[in-house]
Structure 1
Amino acid sequence: MNAPVPPRDQVDAQCPACRLHALVPMLLRRIEHDRWAQVEPEEDTGDDEVVQIDACPVCNGAWFDAGELDLLAGEATDLEHALDPTSHPSKRGCPRGCSVMREHDLPGVIRTPVDHCHTCKGIWLDGHERHKLAKSTTREGQQDVKQRMARRGAIWAAQLLVQLPVEVENPVHTTPWVVISIVTALLSCFALQLLGIVDLGNCAPGLGDLPSGAMFGDLADGATFADLCFAPVAGSLKHQWGRLGFGAIGEGSWYTLTTHWLLHGGWAHLLGNCYFLYIFGDNVETLFGRRRFVLFFLGAALIGGFAEVLLTQNTVSPIIGASGGIAGVMAAYLWCFPRNKLFQVVLFVQLKLPVWVYLFVWVGFQAVMGLFETSDAGVAWFSHLFGFAFGAAVTPLILRMRRREIAKTVRTPALAL
């Protein structure tokens, strides 16, 4: 027996697609005959026509009650009546708790089937389906053609100079304080480097070694804080390992594995890392939560640094940079938002790539460069690869915990399939 259909203003459900967030109300106001703009709940819309849909801020999927999709897509579309009568069982439950939905094709409109509840007549659209059928509800779709072209032109001009990807559409609605704190720490430590308070010259092979049995903070007579090495040197650490054994990793200068990510080799190195951390990290922090994100980032940085020490051919240069932790964050972003788009300029042409394509190419490049690394390499390729591998391995575990937590906070949990 199906559950009773709740009132239209009481959707309290876990996203039936990604299950990573509770559905949140989104108010859309008609601004033209066939264009709608998102408004905040407290905004006074006057006599304007307003429609409330329920969307997932993680995967951008949306739930449309009966009649809402046709209203938003245009009066002439009649999409809801265009559903193919033939249906197949869906793996998703109705967000209103009615029953398991059914998959229906929309012939000639979209290739993938949409989920339809036969009880309350609502329709669920995944993020990419919503983009195709209800593009006017997205931030980019709310702009007119001139605004959109001007925006893309400005991004293209900037990308020609810096050759960095630009996240197209994945805003966060909270302040990513952990990401901001990490960026602040990186900038502060680089300032200490510029002032000579932290000197990478102390990390030349042999100079970074502390006496056997010494720990971080134990300084030789007459030495100061500025004499410490904060970046691991593969040759020195391997020598300590061979001399003291695996059980003595806490001795000597192994502590540098926990501090190397705070240091950078120049402005380009620093600003590039801060940029990638911010564009990928804000969404991951919002999804994981601050405490988990901190532990996740530090774990990826530590694993990446450790792998670089073991595998690099360059045994005499200090290993520095936060890119191992950032690579872990990029892997988490790939798990959580694989369909999100990035702008990237290739040979003066601006491409709009799914993040999985961009990161697939990025990982492949890191693997090739690591395979052919020479003894004078200046990039920690293995730190990137193993930081990414750590992120790819740990993220599914965190997402599983996240889904269980969300299921406990809503009236209608999604089907755990």
Structure 2
Amino acid sequence: MFPIKDENPTETTPYLTIALIVVNLGIFLATFLSGSFDQIIGDYGMKPAELLAGKNLHTLFTSMFLHGGFLHVIGNVWFLWIFGDNIEDYFGREKFLLIYFSTGIVASLAHAALNPGSVIPTIGASGAIAGILGAYIVKYPRAKVYTVLFFFLFYVIKIPAVAFLGIWIGIQVLSATVTAVAGVAVSTAYWAHIGGFALGAAMVYLWEKSK
């Protein structure tokens, strides 16, 4: 299940969304071509054990702009492009950035709290983008998302955002639960996705309720 686009036009140009996409892609390419990829990931990725010991706190921020491969970064910026423009358009640049960075930081903290002894660097913008998805499901639950499904053949269907994003977060929760019960180490920070999504949804819900 992969999104192609949404039926949710904007009234303004999403400059910040575009800027974040360009920065994420630019930093990935610079890191990939630097010849010091592993060292950069080790120095600027967020390691839960170090963070909880009060060390290298800057990695809460720097880890959001690092990615482990082309599919990792392309997948993240694609989701940001589809869902981020509407959140920036509706809430404005300040609140958009507040959602993005606060949920990204909380996502890393959630992962660290549930993996306190890990020294494996955690990287990626997915926690922050999960926050944007959480904001979107609250604000635009009925917006249609063109979605690719594969069942022997490829199909493109339109489904409400609440269904698409509900399935997405459901997969994150199920995956996090299964891996925790099985005691399996995985490379995907499912709890970071869950934490970012939950905070993004809560922020928008509270903002809308306060109007």
TM, length-normalised to structure 1:
0.46
Pair 1:294-2:132 in alignment: no
Cα distance change, pair 258–333 in 1 and its aligned pair in 2 (3 A): same
In structure 2, what is the equivalent of residue 230 of structure 1?
A: 44
Contact 1:324 1:388 in 2 (8 A): yes
Pair 1:350-2:156 in alignment: yes
Q: How does 1:61-210 map to 2 (within 5 A)?
A: 164-196=2-34, 199-201=37-39, 204=42
- Aligned partners of 1:282, 1:291: CA distance in 2, in Å? 13
In structure 1, what is the equivalent of residue 169 of structure 2?
A: 363
Cα distance change, pair 345–183 in 1 and its aligned pair in 2 (3 A): closer
Look up the equivalent residue of 1:167 and give its one-letter code.
K
Look up the equivalent residue of 1:303 and give its one-letter code.
V
TM-superposed deviation, 1:363: 1.0
TM-superposed deviation, 1:343: 2.1
- Aligned partners of 1:400, 1:171: CA distance in 2, in Å? 24
- Give the count of matched residue pairs: 205
Contact 1:203 1:233 in 2 (8 A): no
In structure 2, what is the equivalent of residue 377 of structure 1?
A: 186
Cα distance change, pair 198–300 in 1 and its aligned pair in 2 (3 A): farther
TM-superposed deviation, 1:319: 0.4
- Aligned partners of 2:193, 2:132: CA distance in 1, in Å? 11
Pair 1:394-2:200 in alignment: no
- Aligned partners of 1:336, 1:198: CA distance in 2, in Å? 41
Q: Secondary structure at the match of 1:254?
A: coil
Contact 1:176 1:286 in 2 (8 A): yes
CA shift digits 1:179-236 (9 cap, x unpaired): 01111110121122123276433555xxxxxxxxxxxxxxxxxxxxxxxx11111233
- Aligned partners of 1:345, 1:188: CA distance in 2, in Å? 28
Identical aligned pairs, as a percentage?
Answer: 34
TM, length-normalised to structure 2:
0.89
Pair 1:310-2:102 in alignment: no
Look up the equivalent residue of 1:384 and give its one-letter code.
H
- Aligned partners of 2:65, 2:143: CA distance in 1, in Å? 29
Cα distance change, pair 256–340 in 1 and its aligned pair in 2 (3 A): same
TM-superposed deviation, 1:342: 1.2
CA shift digits 1:380-403 (9 cap, x unpaired): 1011000001111111233346x4
Structure 1 stretches of at least 4 aligned residues deviating more than 6 Å after TM superposition:
none
Q: Which runs of 5+ in 2 are unaligned?
A: none
In structure 2, what is the equivalent of residue 246 of structure 1?
A: none
Q: Secondary structure at the match of 1:165?
A: strand
CA shift digits 1:16-49 (9 cap, x unpaired): xxxxxxxxxxxxxxxxxxxxxxxxxxxxxxxxxx
Contact 2:5 2:147 in 1 (8 A): no
Q: Secondary structure at the match of 1:345?
A: strand
Contact 1:285 1:293 in 2 (8 A): yes
Q: Which runs of 5+ in 1 are unaligned?
A: 1-162, 205-228, 241-248, 404-417
Q: Secondary structure at the match of 1:180?
A: helix
In structure 1, what is the equivalent of residue 86 of structure 2?
A: 283
- Aligned partners of 2:41, 2:88: CA distance in 1, in Å? 33
* Structure with larger RCO (C-alpha < 8 A, sep 6+): 2
CA RMSD of aligned residues (A): 2.0
Contact 1:179 1:282 in 2 (8 A): yes
- Aligned partners of 1:295, 1:289: CA distance in 2, in Å? 10
CA shift digits 1:316-366 (9 cap, x unpaired): 321000011111101111111111111223313333211111111111110
Bigger proportion of residues as helix: 2
Pair 1:264-2:78 in alignment: no
Contact 1:312 1:382 in 2 (8 A): no
Q: How does 1:34-45 map to 2 (within 5 A)?
A: none
Greater Rg by CA: 1
Pair 1:323-2:133 in alignment: no
- Aligned partners of 2:26, 2:145: CA distance in 1, in Å? 30
Contact 2:49 2:116 in 1 (8 A): no
- Aligned partners of 1:329, 1:286: CA distance in 2, in Å? 12
Look up the equivalent residue of 1:264 and give its one-letter code.
H
- Aligned partners of 2:20, 2:117: CA distance in 1, in Å? 27
